[in-house]
RNA sequence: GGAGAAAUGGCAGAGCGGUUGAAUGCACUGGUCUUGAAAACCAGCAUACCGAAAGGUAUCGGGGGUUCGAAUCCCUCUUUCUCCGCCA
């Protein structure tokens, strides 16, 4: 949610920037400004009425103390009209405030100035490509066949237990999953992140805070009896830890990491693109989150990118980094870099991480501020997060790229966690 | 699940119908003193909104109500603690 002050002061600028996201905001912004003006006028009137009635009440108190009952009764009579007025104004106020938030919530975050124009993933800009693509023999297999061949995972079990898109890992497959999670978490902790184990369900307020509600309700599993949502990413509970908090400037940056199961409904496409582990309803991910001083957030974004890049290098996976264009960047993000690994068995790039700076878009919803030491005022923090990393596609790429006639070669860094060099 | 108690500023903790946005202590910030520090003393120290400012309004777990007036009374929800039951 963009701060109302920004829209009030720089309406045209906001409209122009949102056009990069192919979002025509002119009508909404005009309405917001109208309602904002109306709201402020209303508040001035309301405050005046309340001030008068407060004054009267005090006078009545004094009169009673002095024993002037008759005068007190007269004053009491005067408050009746004021009360009616304030009730009316308060109702109007609530109504207009409701409309304002409903409108504000419709606006996406304004993209950073380096975000390229574009409509689809074709317009994303490759900013780095690193690592060597393996040369596989002609009989190389895609990961879904490798998973079956080596007895690592079953979609059929998941299908029986739950439904499609719920993979069941077992044996070395389960171990590989555990190894990757441990490896990613250890790296995050080494990089200064504090490890969290968050709840896997969140309430409405949390889902709203990070921007899943109201617009992306359909992508989350909803536990209706308790009105809770299964998290689509650990970003949601972890970032919400600082909801409604005023942090000390010296406490920034807050670096938090967490592993969780992630649940995504993602109704939609079928076929080759979603085969095997390419897209599933439940998967594991390690997420890194930072809550930072607004002047530092782009530095931190780079820092987080390098962290993710170092993980991929350590796993020896060829990857590329894309700066997402206006049409592909998410609603809440100001700047997003996607990481894709090359999956040789499918001969395609798979998205494994997404690192974003949300600037004040989330913190304005979350009401997460810090006290500026210089000015003594409260300011909104910037929030950032990134996957470090999502497991299924990493596993897909690892299996495909490291396949040999003898089995799947385990990357060096995972061997201590796996307790073996090869999956055969 | 049953019974009881509680929820106040960064923390501790008063207030239990009238000038209380809230005593007091601690913490914190600035100053005086000091060679420096400590101690002592003085001052400041919640958030949001409206307003050019002066100032005003709202907020004492959330929501609703009684009243001219609510931190204080009533209803309701939530959370925490104690006791009992059940259970990984």
Alpha helices in A105-248 (DSSP H): 143-149, 155-161, 172-190, 204-209, 235-240
User: What pLDDT is recorded for position A271?
Assistant: 60
Identify the helix (H) or strand (E) that includes residue A386: strand A382-390
Residue A273 has pLDDT above 80, yes or no: no
Å separating the CA of residue A373 from the C1' of nucleotide B42: 23
Strand B atom within 7 Å of A21 CB: no
Residue A197, CB, less than 7 Å from strand B? no
Query: What is residue A147's predicted lDDT score, i.e. its pLDDT?
Result: 92
ipTM: 0.86
Q: Name all domains of chain A by residue range, CATH numbers in brackets.
A: 4-104 (1.10.287.40), 121-423 (3.30.930.10)
* In contact, A314 and A411? CB cutoff 8 Å: yes
Instruction: Tell me whether the omega of the peptide bond preceding residue A253 falls within 30 degrees of 0, making it cis.
Output: yes
**Is the pLDDT confidence value at A136 over 90?**
no
A267/A92: higher pLDDT: A92
The pLDDT score that the predictor gives to residue A216 is 80
* Helix residue spans in A66-136 (DSSP H): 69-104
Q: Which residues pair with A130 in a beta bridge?
A: A319
pLDDT in tens, A176-211: 999 999 999 999 999 999 999 999 999 888 999 998
Residues 238-267 of A with CB under 7 A from strand B: 246
A47 nearest nt, CA–C1': B57
Q: Considering only CA atoms, name the residue closest to the C1' of nucleotide B18.
A: A61
Which bases of chain B are under 7 A from a protein CB atom? 10, 18-19, 46-51, 55-58, 68-69
pTM for the model stands at: 0.91
Residue A70: predicted pLDDT: 80
Q: What's the rounded mean pLDDT across residues A268-286?
A: 78
What pLDDT is recorded for position A270? 60
Judge whether residue A57 contacts strand B, using its CB and a 7 Å cut-off.
Answer: yes
For the stretch A376-389, pLDDT in tens is 889 999 999 999 99
Q: Which of A48, A43, A58 is nearest to A82 (CA)?
A: A48
pLDDT reported for residue A321: 96
Respond yes or no on whether the N-terminal peptide bond of residue A389 is cis (omega within 30° of 0).
Answer: yes
Q: Confidence class of residue A375 from pLDDT cuts 50, 70 and 90?
A: confident
CB of A44 lies under 7 Å from some atom of strand B: yes
As a whole-number percent, the residues of chain A with pLDDT over 90 amount to: 68
- How many whole angstroms separate alpha carbon A318 and alpha carbon A309? 10
């Amino acid at each position: 949610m963009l701060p109302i002050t920004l829209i009030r002061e720089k309406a045209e600028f906001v409209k122009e920037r949102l056009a990069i996201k192919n979002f025509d905001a002119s009508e909404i912004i005009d309405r917001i400004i109208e309602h904002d003006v109306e709201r402020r006028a209303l508040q001035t009137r309301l405050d005046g009425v309340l001030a008068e009635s407060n004054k009267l009440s005090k006078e009545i108190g004094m009169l009673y103390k002095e024993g002037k009952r008759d005068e007190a009764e007269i004053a009491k009579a005067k408050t009746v009209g004021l009360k009616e007025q304030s009730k009316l104004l308060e109702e109007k106020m609530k109504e207009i405030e409701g409309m304002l938030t409903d409108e504000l919530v419709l606006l996406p975050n304004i993209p950073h100035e380096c975000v390229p124009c574009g409509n689809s993933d074709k317009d994303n800009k490759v900013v780095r490509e690193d690592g060597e693509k393996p040369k596989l023999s002609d009989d190389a297999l895609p990961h879904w066949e490798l998973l079956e061949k080596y007895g690592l995972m079953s979609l059929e079990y998941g299908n029986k237990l739950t439904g499609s898109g719920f993979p069941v890992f077992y044996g070395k497959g389960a171990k590989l999953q555990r190894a990757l999670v441990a490896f990613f978490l250890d790296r995050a902790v080494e990089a200064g992140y504090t490890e969290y184990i968050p709840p896997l369900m969140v309430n409405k307020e949390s889902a709203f805070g990070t921007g899943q509600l109201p617009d992306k309700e359909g992508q989350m599993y909803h536990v209706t009896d308790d009105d809770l949502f299964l998290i689509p990413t650990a970003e949601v509970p972890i970032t919400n830890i600082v909801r409604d908090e005023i942090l000390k400037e010296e406490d920034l940056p807050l670096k938090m990491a967490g592993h969780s199961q992630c649940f995504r409904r993602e109704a939609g496409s079928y076929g080759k693109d979603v085969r095997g582990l390419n897209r599933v309803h439940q998967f594991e991910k390690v997420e890194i989150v930072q809550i930072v001083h607004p002047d530092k957030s782009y530095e931190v974004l780079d820092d987080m990118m390098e962290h993710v890049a170092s993980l991929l290098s350590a796993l020896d996976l060829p990857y590329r980094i894309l700066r997402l264009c206006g049409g592909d960047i998410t609603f809440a993000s100001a700047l997003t870099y996607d990481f894709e690994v090359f999956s040789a068995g499918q001969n395609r790039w798979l998205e494994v991480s997404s690192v974003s700076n949300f600037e004040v878009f989330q913190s304005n919803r979350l009401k997460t501020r810090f006290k500026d030491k210089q000015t003594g005022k409260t300011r909104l923090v910037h929030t950032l997060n990134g996957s470090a990393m999502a497991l299924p596609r990493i596993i897909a790429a690892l299996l495909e790229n490291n396949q040999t006639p003898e089995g799947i070669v385990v990357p060096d860094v995972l061997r201590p966690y796996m307790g073996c060099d090869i999956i055969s």
